[in-house]
């Protein structure tokens, strides 16, 4: 501003010193737009631009109400006029090289107010600074290219970070994820969910497991509490197990007896749930080593209070 | 589309109403958005907020070629041979279940309408058709700014006959007591149609269907004997939902209303013959038997549910989130049972020859879930997130039963009972986290979560196993973590939780626990490494519980792709996992103290090697080899090997021949009779366009 001050003085002095006053003051010079427009970007980044035309994001270039008509590239990379003049990478935003929070802020500028992001506060990806562009390929070719589609592609994407989970799926009893009959997002919502472990939900607020296991849904006249209170993972390892039926223990009796232990633990507030088996359950006899022979309806019964039928 | 046609046939009224609503919506909402729209909030992306009106420079014409192939994609088909399964065919079918025959191995293709009439593009993916145990089909059809249609169909075989899970004495040639086995198929179909995608207001409709059916073996249990009997299963859930998404610049609201319809018919039966069950020893000199049996469940259910979702950019420093979810499933069941033979009622020391048992029951479970949250950015480097969740589930059930015993020692004995049941759980959680960007490379976070709730379960009148139970949940959890990216190619992250509890629902619930997850990733050019560590330590020191649980996994993966994989690439991973769990229980009959100690120590490795051998001409062969192995010791020592190799040879510009070999080898040290080995060879062609 100091440099400009003498200039203003000079300009102010011109009318006073002139022989003839001009008919009108010259029109003020318009402030140059910091935006270069998509066409300018495509001149140098033709390959990216061509591929981008098939991306769902390309509609931003023509959609008037998004606020970036004609400058879709700059909706994420910021004003590019200076970059077009200098051709310097320092004069343009590169979200892939920005801090995650800053890069995600660019995405959230448009995508926050969508149903996808409603569970963002519970999203462990966001908590762990896993940015949107870790999974979404913004420049990818084709309308399905923004994010992996198809079970195999989705599973490959998730597997690259969740190594221990993928290892569990190699165990003999598993959901058919390695076979690509299912994908990780069938059970988990990668954008966050209010259910534990970002589980998907079914019918508004029921566990996502019931999407496929509808016969376990109930409600039952006689419920088995763990199914309602802590869900299927009380007894099952959904990612995979060496135990049949993905049980958490090698024999079904131990799954049952660890809660139905005949040792109800008392704590300061209330005692833990788990009724005591009557004394006729002689565990030395084979029949009592297989609880589900008699207690067939372990997920809940419509008929019998003891989940027998 | 076939599904839609079926749906339309089944629900003509609903379908026509949807079409009418869609037409009205399209007419009402096809208005041009306001010509001037406020620029994006400056604080959201300060450097990028449009500071000037939209440039007058018209967008350059797209350099994309205007004409595209109408049909592009590929299809793999061929024939699969499976060797004879050495060992247990039942185990093979339970775990693998691939068979011989001609197969449509997979296809993915895109149909493009250059004139954009009914659709812009249709994408189709289909895998594993031809009597495979898991077949999938997915269709995406879209027309820009008019509709998106997603259709998904899966057909998954569920075969399960693994007796060892419940009969430890089988290893010594004991008694086959696992009489819960299944040979079923589950089919899932869903279709979602969204109108005006990308518009501010976008209605959508969806239909989901989940059905299962097949046969199996189940049990008729009569006091002191168990009789394995055939069973037929059939269940079906249909889910109809519709809603509207309203996405504006400063806030979004989604409203959805849905309903489900449920049917479950299960029939257990025995007609003809004499079934002596598992107890062959005479009781009071009489041998028990079952000569006829029919048990039929008829469960019918309905549910309505509602969802309201909200996000808002309230100010430049405040985002708000909210959800309200409500469902109220109901079920009514009629159960009819008839059994005949020489049967025994232990409680009355009574023999009888026939029983009729009728039960009518009903249950309903209103379930309300709410969540509110906020992200606050008081300073440039600080973010605070707060959220509160409540989940309230109340189940009320009733059952009326009528039992009639005839024959044997009594002419007729009739009993009736009426039971009432309730199950209530109220779960609440509040969490606050603070994120601090110490530098542009380092983000720290810490916070606190409080979990509280209560639950009670009662069946009245009290009798037998079930009683009235009340329990409370109290948990204080400290949370911490960091993410450090010293370079764009290198990152470290870790998170941990440490909790102290004053109450838990179950003996094996999380109580006083520590969770840790740490990850390191390095990626440069052709090589990337990733390392992962997970730990869960859970202790419940309460008298009578004394639960001690520790599990941890360490994983390492590497991917090496020199020169972009032109000559070869390699990827592999290795995971070592340990799980130790100890908890006491009492033998119910003697009250002897016993220990349930579970151990699982596993080595798991996967690898995939891909090579492009030197060749002449444009036809480049490709060789792939790899697979996975699991070696587990502990409570159920198991080995499971799945090596594979594949050779692809181009046979023309659009044609590739391929052959694949896979081997499945499974062994259990304690249950040798469940081991199996099988080779699978697939030969096929890929046609590409």
Range of the domain at B479: 438-565+583-602
Q: Is residue B100 part of a domain?
A: no
Q: Measure in Å the smallest separation between the Cα of A178 and chain B Cα atoms.
A: 11
Confidence of residue B527 (pLDDT cuts 50, 70, 90): very high
Q: Are strands A201-202 and B547-560 parallel, antiparallel or unpaired?
A: unpaired
Q: Please report whether residue B60 resides in a domain.
A: no
Q: Are residues B343 and B390 in the same domain?
A: yes
Q: Which residues 6+ apart lie within 8 Å of B398 measured at CB? A: A221, B361, B362, B363, B418, B419, B420, B421
Q: Within a domain: residue B668?
A: no
Q: Which H or E run contains B249?
A: none
Strand ranges (E), B346-381: 350-364, 367-379
The pLDDT assigned to B658 comes to 97
List CB contacts (< 8 A) between A170 and chain B.
Answer: 604, 606, 628-630, 640, 642
Claim to verify: residue B424 and residue B443 sit in the same structural domain: no
| Residue B661 pLDDT class (50, 70, 90 cuts) | very high
Higher pLDDT, A223 or B469: A223
For chain A, how many residues are written? 309
ipTM above 0.90, yes or no: no
Chain A neighbors of B249, CB-CB under 8 A: 113
Distances from the Cα of B83 to the Cα of B21, B664, B668, B678, angstroms: 56, 11, 21, 6
Cα separation, B203 vs B199, in Å, equals 10
Lowest mean pLDDT, pick from A213-227, B31-45, B241-255, B497-511: B31-45
HSE (CB half, 13 Å, CA atoms) of B637?
Answer: 5
Cα A242 from Cα B58, distance rounded (Å): 62
Indicate whether B389 belongs to any domain.
yes
Angle between helices B12-29 and B2-10 (to 10 degrees): 110
Q: Are B503 and B445 in a shared domain?
A: yes
* The pLDDT value given to residue A271: 60
Domain boundary among B428, B459, B491: B428
* Among B474, B305, B336, residue whose Cα is nearest residue B401: B336
Strands B367-379 and B86-87 turn out to be: unpaired
What are the structure tokens assigned to A221, written together? 């006249």
Mutant choice from B60, B494, B584 vs A, greatest count of A C-beta within 10 A: B60
Residue B616 distance to chain A (closest CA, Å): 30
The sign one gets for the Cα dihedral A203, A209, A213, A219 is negative
| pLDDT-based confidence at residue B286 (cuts at 50, 70, 90) | confident
B44 in a domain, yes or no?
no
Distance in angstroms (rounded) separating the CA atoms of residues A80 and A93: 9
| Among A167, A158, A107, residue whose Cα is nearest residue A135 | A158
Q: Which residue has the higher pLDDT, A99 or B356?
A: B356
- At residue B374 the predicted structure's pLDDT band, cuts being 50, 70 and 90, is very high
Three-class SS state of B396: strand
Among B51, B327, B598, beta carbon nearest to A203: B327
Residue B85 lies in a domain: no
Please give the average per-residue pLDDT across B452-479, as a whole number.
84
More confident call, B2 vs B194: B194
Higher pLDDT, A145 or B243: B243
Residue B270 has pLDDT above 70, yes or no: yes
Interface test with B, best of A56, A198, A267, A276 (most B CBs within 10 A): A267
pLDDT for res A47? 87
CB contact under 8 A, A34 and B52: yes
C-alpha neighbours within 13 Å on the C-beta side of residue B686: 18
Cα B470 from Cα B449, distance rounded (Å): 24
Residue B138 C-alpha, separation from nearest chain A C-alpha, in angstroms: 8
Q: Of the candidates B247, B303, B666, which has its C-beta nearest A113's C-beta?
A: B247
Tokens coding B269: 């039966």
Same domain, B462 and B444: yes
Provide the pLDDT confidence category of residue B169 given band limits of 50, 70 and 90: low
Eight-class DSSP state of A9 = H
Per-residue pLDDT band for A6 (boundaries 50, 70, 90) equals very low
Q: Is the pLDDT of residue B620 over 90?
A: no
Domain count within chain B: 2
Q: How many CB atoms lie within 10 A of CB B639?
A: 18
Name residues whose C-beta falls within 8 Å of residue A236's C-beta, 6 or more positions apart in sequence.
A245, A246, A247, A248
pLDDT on residue B15: 40
**Which of B409, B428, B447 delimits the end of a domain?**
B428
For residue B369, pLDDT beyond 60: yes
Q: Within this chain, do residues B443 and B374 fall inside the same structural domain, yes or no? A: no
Highest mean pLDDT (candidates A258-272, B335-349, B522-536) = B522-536
Both B223 and B349 in one domain: the answer is yes
Domain match, B542 and B515 both: yes
Average pLDDT, chain A: 84
B37: closest chain A residue by CA:
A65
Task: Identify the burial level of B271 via C-beta atoms within 10 angstroms of its C-beta, where 0-12 means exposed, 13-18 middle and 19 or more buried.
Answer: exposed
Q: Which of B509, B498, B449 is nearest to B473 (CA)?
A: B509
Per DSSP, A138 falls in state: T
List of chain B residues whose C-beta atoms are within 8 Å of the C-beta of residue A309: 221, 295, 335
Contact B309 A115 (CB under 8 A): yes
Which of these three, B428, B452, B478, is where a domain ends?
A: B428
Tell me: the pLDDT tens digits for B59-105? 344 444 444 568 899 999 999 999 999 999 999 999 999 999 999 99
Enumerate the residues of chain B whose CB falls inside 8 A of the CB of residue A303: 297, 333, 335, 359, 361, 399, 401
- The encoded tokens of residue B391 equal 């989940």
Instruction: Give me the pLDDT at residue B230, please.
Output: 92
Question: For chain A, what percent of residues have pLDDT higher than 90?
Answer: 47
B303: chain A residues, CB-CB within 8 Å: 203
* Higher local confidence (pLDDT), B171 or B679: B679
DSSP letter, residue B461:
S
Q: What is the mean pLDDT of chain B?
A: 86
Contact between A65 and B33 using a beta-carbon 8 Å cutoff? yes
Minimal CA–CA distance to B22: which of B213, B197, B281, B236? B197
% residues pLDDT > 70 (chain B): 87
**What beta strand segments (E) does B316-366 contain?**
318-345, 350-364
pLDDT tier, A30 (very low <50, low <70, confident <90, very high otherwise): low
pLDDT band of residue B261 (cuts 50, 70, 90) is very high
Instruction: Indicate the pTM of the whole model.
Output: 0.87
In angstroms, the CA B452 to CA B476 distance is 9
How far CA B23 is from CA of B10, B147, B149, B253, B255, in Å, comes to: 21, 12, 16, 22, 19
| Among candidate residues B644, B464, B114, the one with its CA nearest the CA of residue A279 | B464
Q: Are residues B276 and B379 in the same domain?
A: yes
Distance from CA of A6 to the nearest CA of B (A): 28
* Min Cα separation B118/chain A (Å): 17
Residues B301 and B375 in one domain: yes
Q: Most A CBs within 10 Å: which of B33, B46, B53, B57, as the mutation test of the A interface?
A: B57
- Are B443 and B516 in the same domain? yes
Nearest Cβ partner for A286 among B125, B177, B235: B177
pLDDT digits (tens, 9 = 90+) for B546-564: 899 999 999 999 999 998 8
Listed in sequence order, the residues at least 6 apart from B460 whose beta carbon sits closer than 8 Å to its beta carbon are B419, B420, B421, B468
Would you state the structure tokens that stand for residue B427, as one six-digit string? 């779960």
Q: Are residues B538 and B598 in the same domain?
A: yes
CB-based burial label for B296 (10 Å; 0-12, 13-18, 19+): middle
B407 and B442, same structural domain? no
């Amino acid at each position: 501003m100091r440099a400009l001050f003498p200039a203003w003085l000079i300009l102010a002095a011109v009318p006073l010193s002139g022989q003839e006053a001009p008919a009108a003051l010259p029109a003020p010079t318009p402030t140059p737009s910091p935006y270069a427009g998509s066409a300018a970007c495509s001149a140098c980044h033709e390959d990216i631009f061509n591929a981008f035309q098939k991306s769902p994001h390309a509609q931003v270039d023509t959609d008037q109400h998004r606020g970036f008509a004609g400058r879709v590239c700059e909706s994420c990379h910021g004003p590019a006029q200076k970059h077009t003049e200098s051709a310097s990478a320092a004069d343009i935003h590169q979200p892939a090289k920005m801090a995650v929070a800053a890069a995600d802020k660019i995405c959230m500028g448009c995508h926050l107010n969508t149903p996808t992001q409603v569970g963002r506060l519970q999203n462990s990806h966001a908590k762990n600074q896993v940015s949107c562009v870790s999974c979404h390929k913004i420049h990818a070719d084709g309308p399905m290219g923004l994010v992996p589609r198809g079970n195999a592609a989705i599973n490959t994407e998730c597997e690259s970070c969740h190594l221990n989970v993928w290892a569990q799926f190699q165990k003999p009893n598993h959901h058919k994820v390695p076979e690509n009959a299912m994908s990780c997002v069938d059970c988990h919502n990668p954008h966050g969910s209010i259910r534990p472990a970002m589980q998907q939900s079914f019918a508004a607020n029921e566990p996502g497991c019931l999407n496929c296991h509808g016969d376990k849904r109930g409600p039952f006249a006689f419920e088995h509490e763990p199914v309602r209170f802590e869900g299927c993972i009380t007894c099952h390892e959904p990612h995979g197990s060496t135990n049949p039926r993905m049980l958490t223990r090698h024999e079904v009796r131990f799954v049952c007896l660890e809660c139905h232990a005949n040792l109800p633990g008392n704590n300061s507030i209330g005692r833990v749930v788990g009724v005591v088996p009557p004394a006729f359950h002689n565990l030395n006899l084979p029949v009592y080593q297989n609880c589900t022979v008699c207690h067939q309806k372990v997920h809940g019964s419509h008929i019998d209070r003891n989940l027998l039928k | 589309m076939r599904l839609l046609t079926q749906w339309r046939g089944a629900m003509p009224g609903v379908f026509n109403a949807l079409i009418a609503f869609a037409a009205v919506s399209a007419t009402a909402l096809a208005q041009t958005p306001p010509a001037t729209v406020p620029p994006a909030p400056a604080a959201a992306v300060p450097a990028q907020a449009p500071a000037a009106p939209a440039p007058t420079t018209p967008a350059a014409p797209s350099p994309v070629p205007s004409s595209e192939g109408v049909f592009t994609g590929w299809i793999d088909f061929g024939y699969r041979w499976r060797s004879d399964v050495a060992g247990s065919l039942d185990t093979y079918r339970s775990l693998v279940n691939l068979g011989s025959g001609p197969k449509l191995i997979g296809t993915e293709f895109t149909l493009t309408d250059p004139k954009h009439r009914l659709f812009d593009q249709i994408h189709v993916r289909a895998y594993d058709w031809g009597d495979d145990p898991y077949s999938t089909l997915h269709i995406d059809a879209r027309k820009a700014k008019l509709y998106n249609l997603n259709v998904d169909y899966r057909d998954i075989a569920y075969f399960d006959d693994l007796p060892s899970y419940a009969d430890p004495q089988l290893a010594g040639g004991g008694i086959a007591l696992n009489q819960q086995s299944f040979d079923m198929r589950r089919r899932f179909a869903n279709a979602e149609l969204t109108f005006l995608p990308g518009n501010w207001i976008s209605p959508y409709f969806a239909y989901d269907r989940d059905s299962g059916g097949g046969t199996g073996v189940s049990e008729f249990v009569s006091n002191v004997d168990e009789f394995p009997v055939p069973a037929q299963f059939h269940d079906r859930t249909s889910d109809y939902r519709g809603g509207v998404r309203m996405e504006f610049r400063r806030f979004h609201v989604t409203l959805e209303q849905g309903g489900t319809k449920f049917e479950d018919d299960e029939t257990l039966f025995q007609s003809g013959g004499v079934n002596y069950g598992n107890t062959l020893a005479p009781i009071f000199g009489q041998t028990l038997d079952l000569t006829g049996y029919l048990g039929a469940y008829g469960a019918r259910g309905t549910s309505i549910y509602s969802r309201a979702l909200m996000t808002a950019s309230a100010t430049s420093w405040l985002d708000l989130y909210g959800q309200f979810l409500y469902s109220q499933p109901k079920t009514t069941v009629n159960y009819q049972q008839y059994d005949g033979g020489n049967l025994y009622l232990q409680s009355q020391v009574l023999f009888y020859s026939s029983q009729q048992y009728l039960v009518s029951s009903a249950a309903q479970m209103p379930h309300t879930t709410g969540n509110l949250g906020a992200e606050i950015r008081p300073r440039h480097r600080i973010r605070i997130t707060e959220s509160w969740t409540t989940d309230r589930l109340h189940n009320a059930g009733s059952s009326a039963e009528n039992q009639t015993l005839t024959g044997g020692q009594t002419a007729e004995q009739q009993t009736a009972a009426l039971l009432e049941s309730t199950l209530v759980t109220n779960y609440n959680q509040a969490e606050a986290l603070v994120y601090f960007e110490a530098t542009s490379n380092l983000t720290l976070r810490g916070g606190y979560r409080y979990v509280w709730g209560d639950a009670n379960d009662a069946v009245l009148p009290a009798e037998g196993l079930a009683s009235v139970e009340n329990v409370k949940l109290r948990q204080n959890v400290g949370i911490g973590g960091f993410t450090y990216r010293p370079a764009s190619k290198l990152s470290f992250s870790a998170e941990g939780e440490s909790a102290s509890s004053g109450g838990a629902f179950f003996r094996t619930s999380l109580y006083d626990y520590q969770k840790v997850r740490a990850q390191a990733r390095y990626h440069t050019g052709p090589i990337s490494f990733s390392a992962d560590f997970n730990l869960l330590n859970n202790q419940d020191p309460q008298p009578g519980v004394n639960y001690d649980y520790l599990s941890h996994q360490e994983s390492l993966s590497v991917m090496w792709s020199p020169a972009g994989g032109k000559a070869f690439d390699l990827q592999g991973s290795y995971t070592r996992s340990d799980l130790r769990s100890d908890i006491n229980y009492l033998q119910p009959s003697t009250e002897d103290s016993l220990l349930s100690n579970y151990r699982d120590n596993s080595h798991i490795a996967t690898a995939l090697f891909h090579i492009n051998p030197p060749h002449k001409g444009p036809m480049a062969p490709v060789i792939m080899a790899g697979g996975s192995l699991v070696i587990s010791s502990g409570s159920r020592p198991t080995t499971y090997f799945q090596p594979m190799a594949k050779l692809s040879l181009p046979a023309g510009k659009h044609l590739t021949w391929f052959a694949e070999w896979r081997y499945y080898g499974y062994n259990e040290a304690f249950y040798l009779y469940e081991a199996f080995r099988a080779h699978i060879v697939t030969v096929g062609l890929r046609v590409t366009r």
